[in-house]
Structures are given as C-alpha cells and as structure tokens.
Amino acid sequence: MKTARTWYAAGLLAAAIAVLLVGWFISGWGDVRGRQRAETEAPTKEASAKSVALAHQLRNELSALLTREVERPYFHYQNLMHDPRATGSVGVTPSPLATGPTDSLVLGYFQIDSKGRATTPTINDDVPDLSEPKQLAGNMRFRTEVGKSLVALAPPKREGTLVAEVSPVKVKRPPPRQQPPRQPPPTPTSTEVVQPERVQQQAQPQVFEIDENSYVQNWNSNTIYQQYRNAPGLRRDSVGNLSSANAPEPAPETVPVPVPEAVPATDVVVTPPPPKPQVQKRVTPAARFTPPPMAPEPAPKPVLITVAPLEWRTMTFNGAPALLAVRDVDTPDGALAQGFVVDRAALTSWLASHAGDTVAELRLGDDSSPEIAPGWHLSVTPNPRTIAEAAASAAHLATAFLLRFIILGVIAAFAAALVVLLVARAEKMARERSQCAAAAAHELRTPLAGLQLYGDMIADGLGDPQKTRDYAKRMSEEASRLGRVVSNVLGFSQLERGNLSLDPTVGSLDTELRSLAERAEPALDRAGAALALDVAPDLSAKFDRDALARIVGNLLDNAEKYGREAEDRTIELSARPAGADSVEVVISDHGPGVTEKARSKLFTPFTRGVPADGPAGLGLGLALSQSLARAMGGDLDYRPGEGGGAAFVLRLPRA
C-alpha cells in the first residue's frame, strides 16, 4: 500500500512537471518563432526603408542633373561655338562639352539634325585635330552608337526660310573705329543669352532671341574656323587666339579691345584681328589721308530659337536599355534633337556607394518598387550575407531556447526524482520502523514470556523444587537474550546518530573466545544445538571486549536460530591467523545458508536473508556486527559454508 502511495505521488509530480514544461514550451516556442520572424524579416524591412530613402536621393540627383542641363544653351552641343555676348566680333571657340562630360552620371552628349546626322561635342569631323584626343576611340564608339541606336530621335524635315545656309561665310562685321574705355560687360538680356528656366518650372517650350551674326557663326562654326585659321597675316598667341601679324603692338597708354567673355576652352580660339586703336602720333604731310566716311550697316535681325523641355526617355543603347534626356530645338534652318545618355555604370556605382548593406538595382517595368524616372524603378534587396546572418541568428534563437528547455527540463526531472526518492525513503523508513516494532515485539515477547513463566513458577513454588536452580538459569538465558535484542537496538541507534565509540586494545583472543563459548554453550545445548570450538592457542589480536561479545553473540544466536531445521545442528567456532596482519574468526552452521539474491543486502539494516515466514528477527544484528568490526579496524563478511550452510568471517587486526 505504501509503495502504491509512492508511485501515486511520483505520478502526480510527473504530471505537474509535464504540464508546466509543456506550457512553458508552447509559450516560449511561440515567442521564439515571433522573434525568428522578426530576425528574418529585418533585412527585408531594412531594404524596403532603404529603397524609399535611396529613391528619394537618386530622384534628387537626377533632378539636379536635369536642372543643370536645362540651363545649357543649344550651341554647347557642337564642337565649336560662338558666344552670343560677343555680337560685334567674328570668332569661334571650343564648346564647354568638347572635352567630354563634366558630370559623372552623363555618359555623353549628342545632337541629331533633321537629316539624321548624329554629332557629338567631342568629335569634329571637319577639323579632326579639334577632336578630344584623350578618349578618341571611346568617343567615336559613342558617336557611332548614337547614329545607330538613336536615329529615331531625328526631327522631321520641313520647308522654310534658311538664314545661316544662304551665305555661311559672309559674316557682317562693323567697321573699325576707336574703342571706348573698357567697361564692365553688360548684363545679358534675353536676346543675347540662352538661359532656360529650371526643369521644375519648364513645362512648355520656350522661345529665345539671338542676333543674326551669332546665329550664323554658330551654324557655320567649322567653316569660320577653317577660313580664319589659314588666313595670311594672322599670328597665334600663347593662348591660341589669331591676330594680324603686321599689326603693331599696342602702346601702353592705349586700351585694348575688350575680348568677349566666352566659355573656357583648351583648343584653338579663332578671333579676327582687332582694329587698330587710334593713337596720337606725328605723321608727315605725305602720310596725311582722310578716309571717306563709311555708311552705317543696318542692325542684324534677331533670330528666334524654340527650345523644348528636356524629357526622360528609355531607348536601347549599346544593346541594353538606357535612360536618356532629350529635347527638341527648332531653328530657322531646321530642327535639332539634343540630349545626353545617362551612364548606367555610373548609376550602378552611385547606388553601390549609397546602398550600404543592401543591393540596389535599376529595373524597367517593376511597378512594386519606387519610380526613379518614367519606366525606371529602384529595386533594393537585402544582401545575401545579411540574409544568411539573419537566418543564423534565427536558428541560434531556437537552439538557445531548446538548450534552456532541455537543461531546465532535466533539472526539473532530477528534482522530481529526488522528491520521489525522499518520499520512497520516508516510506521505507516508516515501513522499517513498523517492521522493527513488530519484530522487536516478537523478539521481546519470547524472552519476556519465559521470564514471566519461570518467575511465576519460582514465586508460587510450582514445579519441581529440585529444578529451581535450572529455572533460574533459564531466566538468566532469557534475560541475556532480551539484553542482546535491546543492545542491538541501542547499538543501531548509536550507529545512526554517529556516536558509536569503541576502545580496541591488544588482548588474548583465544582466551576471550573460550570464555564467550562457555557462556553460550548451556543455552545452545538446551536449544538442541552443539558448539564445536577450534581456536589456536596463544592467539592475540586488537579488539574491544564488549564489541567482540556482541558480534560473537549475534552470530551464534543466528546460527542456532536459522539452523533449527538442519539435521546437523553443530555450530563451529574457529580462530586462525590470516597472514601476518590479521586474524580470522569463523562461525559457521549447517543450515540453509543465504541465497544469491539476498547476499547483496545481507548487512543492510532491517534486511534479512530469509523469507517473511522464517524465524523472527529485527534484521539489525548483522548490520550492527559489521559496523562494530569495522570500528575495531577489521571487517565482517559472509561466505558459503564448506558443507552447506552459512559461514561468517570476522577479521581483526593482529597484535
């Protein structure tokens, strides 16, 4: 019944721990799964936020680029140009774009006329030595690709009045006259400088006025350059300007002709020789000559130029989709398509430098991503390394939780096992106490009954008066048996409390064993058992007299009690030296002996080596005897008898 209670308590405890562990696992695993999702989704969310911010930055970058290019005059798209602010001079200078794009996002500039002829500022077919020499091969490939891929941008031909092609080399120049003192350059007006508004404000084409001389020189810039470069009597100064070789150097007090402000260039600048300043000097009568007055030339007519806004377009360039900015320029001599190609590699490099740990890419037609330009969308995806790190972090969360769960589960199971063990031990102790009480009552009942019987007989004068002495001996034997039971109980109590103390001394072991045998022999004889003594003479050992008496008394009592059913009830007590250091005292019988199963617990308190229906006993004698033997420096063991039965060997240290 008590064992069933232990299993019942163990089941309840196991169920409670299982419920707690399962509940913790379900809630904890749900939290781990949520954190894993957050870890794995973090790179995607970061890429989405980065996509919005990066798209905003790139749109601003392209908008700033488009704003700068909208403000660029139309004549910058050719290799040579004439600055409209120098209306009173004849000359051309290289375009600011002749050396190539200055913006890192621009692959190249182009211009296509109504005849489908493609030109670029870096290539001059009429004057090859003005072409940009540093990247000539790349510029040629770019111009070739423009003529092949972007020819569809050519504006349609139209009939109209031609202005620049009627007489391209006849440029009207004012007569030389005395120059006034140098004044600050005038503020450009809308009729002199082409300055379109910014792209955010330019929604409609804009019309600009330019004087006829500037328009003609810009339209025929190569022809003018070739005519004046090889003209006789011109010389080249240190910066490449052409002037008359026969013209004298200006005097220090003279004011030179102001040079029209133009865009800086690295190539040849062609200007006509400046008019000679009028300087006060002496002349001979023969040299006096008054030129006839010149009739004033009519003022040049203004020319209207219509410039459309720049628009983003997507076209195939170099076999791949490319982003272009294109505008139409309408002139009296025909329409032009001007624009530039965005460098896809530069855009990719810009994105890589601003993308951080993400991967940014421009795609066409991906409506789910932020739009950068018409048809172009920015796709930002997490870096594979970041995804792998997030997956590893998520896996680590699960591993850490499972490890904690297993460790705490093992600890909980171990604690539960300890509780069950304590419960089982408590029940065992309760059972042993109950058995001890029952066995003690049984053990004490027999000697007490004998004492009461013989005491009543002596007190009442019953029985044979001649056997009064024998009755007294019986009472002494029963009292001695009762004393052994009480002594074993007290000894075990001392052993449990740890205050069992002995005082072993060197003495004559053979004499002590003979004395113990003489005292035990009458009781053995009356019980029907015989004691055979075989002790070597002059045998000395180190022992405690009381402890030796307890051990020998318990062993003899057990031999008599468990050998009652044997045919040979002889109990043998022998003592012999065992080597140079110990002495063996052997007490054996011819009873049933001890089974193999019971030998492992033979010296355990409250454990007996016979079935429950065997002779009564407390199960404390052997446990107490072994403890006493070890306290004296020896030991007590069991071994099967030679002729059957049981043999207990007491080893004591030799003197």
Across the range 145-162, mean pLDDT stands at: 83
| pLDDT tens readout for residues 160-181 | 556 665 444 455 544 444 444 4
8 A C-beta contact, residue 356 and residue 341: no
Model pLDDT, residue 269: 39
SS3 label, residue 575: strand
Burial of 527 (C-beta count, 10 Å sphere; 0-12/13-18/19+): middle
Q: What is the DSSP string of 334-348?
A: EEEEEEEEE-HHHHH
| pLDDT tens readout for residues 230-286 | 665 544 443 344 444 443 443 333 223 333 333 333 333 334 444 544 444 444 443
Beta strand segments in 416-554, E: 505-508, 530-535, 540-543
| pLDDT tens readout for residues 410-450 | 999 999 888 888 888 888 777 777 766 666 666 666 677 77
List all residues 6 or more positions away from 96 whose beta carbon is below 8 Å from its beta carbon: 76, 102, 263, 264, 265
CA distance linking residue 584 with residue 582, whole number of Å:
7
Would you say residue 499 has pLDDT above 70? no
Go through 391-402 and write b for each residue having 16 or more CB atoms within 10 A of its CB, e for each that does not: eeebeebeeebe
Q: Pick the more confident residue, 269 or 485.
A: 485
Would you say residue 183 has pLDDT above 60? no
Across the range 573-601, mean pLDDT stands at: 86
Would you say residue 342 has pLDDT above 60? yes
Fold assignment, 500-653: Heat Shock Protein 90 (3.30.565)
- Whether the CA torsion 340, 342, 345, 350 is positive or negative: it is positive
Q: Work out the pLDDT band at 393, boundaries 50, 70, 90.
A: very high
Model pLDDT, residue 156: 87
8 A C-beta contact, residue 193 and residue 206: no
CA distance linking residue 168 with residue 217, whole number of Å:
8
Annotate 478-502 with three-state secondary structure: HHHHHHHHHHHHHHHHHHHHCCCCC
Annotate 260-289 with three-state secondary structure: CCCCCCCCCCECCCCCCCCCCCCCCHHHCC
pTM over 0.75: no
The residue extents of the domains of the chain are: 71-165+190-247+260-277+299-317+324-342, 500-653
Would you say residue 546 has pLDDT above 60? yes
CA distance to 194, 609, 610, 611, 638, per residue, from 598 (Å): 119, 5, 8, 10, 11
Model pLDDT, residue 161: 57
Q: Which is it for strands 570-578 and 530-535: parallel, antiparallel or unpaired?
A: parallel
Token output for 55: 């798209």
8 A C-beta contact, residue 349 and residue 123: no
Q: Pick the more confident residue, 284 or 465.
A: 465
Q: Work out the pLDDT band at 84, boundaries 50, 70, 90.
A: confident
Between vectors from CA 171 to CA 225 and to CA 277, what angle results, nearest 5°? Answer: 85
